[in-house]
Amino acid sequence: MSVLLVIDMLRDFMTEEGALYCGDNARRIIPFIARKIDECRSSGCKVIHVCDSHRPDDREFSIFPAHCVKGTRGAESIEELKPVEQDIVIEKTRYSAFYGTELEKALKELDPETVFVSGVCTSICVMDTVGGLRDRDYRVVVYKQGVADFDAEAHEFALKRMADVYGAEVK
């Protein structure tokens, strides 16, 4: 069995009115991720949506503008990729999906052969989560067509780092 992580495909990152809109390049990955979600669900793979969910006074807002505040429209999944009942939703407050969340427990219970990774931002939450996956010895595949960043240079660096340093397969 495998797992597909869908990281931060939320309104504040993925819509033009969002607080940290990742841009048109990020919008282009939506159809690819939607196909992967459909493939995953039909083959028995588990989909885990990892979602930024901040308090209004989160310390991260000293670095980035307020975004994905719990209970706001910006913290909602985009319409095209909404979780369904059989999916798992993990809320996070930091870049790594492991910090202070139930992700590690969920993965231990699922015991996936491979964790496939998609979402935004490649150089922040995606890369930090992939590092956490590799620290826990999971086989990781990062879908190059399924990740995006608001910074093209940082995106390319992150793809290279995840492959060369973390040992993730980037395809």
pLDDT band at 60; cut points 50, 70, 90: very high
Structure confidence at residue 39 (pLDDT): 98
Q: Please choose, from the candidates 64, 41, 47, 39, the residue with its C-alpha nearest in 3D space to the C-alpha of residue 125.
A: 64
pLDDT band at 92; cut points 50, 70, 90: very high
pLDDT band at 86; cut points 50, 70, 90: very high
Q: Give the C-alpha separation, 93 to 69, whole Å.
A: 10
Structure confidence at residue 125 (pLDDT): 98
43, 137 Cβ separation under 8 angstroms = no
Structure confidence at residue 9 (pLDDT): 98
pTM score of the predicted model: 0.98
Structural domains in the chain plus CATH codes: 2-170 (3.40.50.850)
Q: Please choose, from the candidates 131, 96, 130, the residue with its C-alpha nearest in 3D space to the C-alpha of residue 116.
A: 130
pLDDT band at 130; cut points 50, 70, 90: very high
Q: Give the C-alpha separation, 47 to 139, whole Å.
A: 16
Per-residue pLDDT tens digits for 26-47: 999 999 999 999 999 999 999 9
Tell me what the pLDDT averaged over the chain comes to. 98
What angle do helix axes 127-135 and 152-164 make, rounded to 10 degrees?
A: 10
Strands (E), 26-171: 46-52, 88-92, 114-120, 139-148, 169-170
Strands (E), the chain: 2-7, 46-52, 88-92, 114-120, 139-148, 169-170
Token pair for residue 133?
Answer: 């996956």
Cβ partners under 8 Å of residue 36, min gap 6: 4, 116, 118, 143, 146
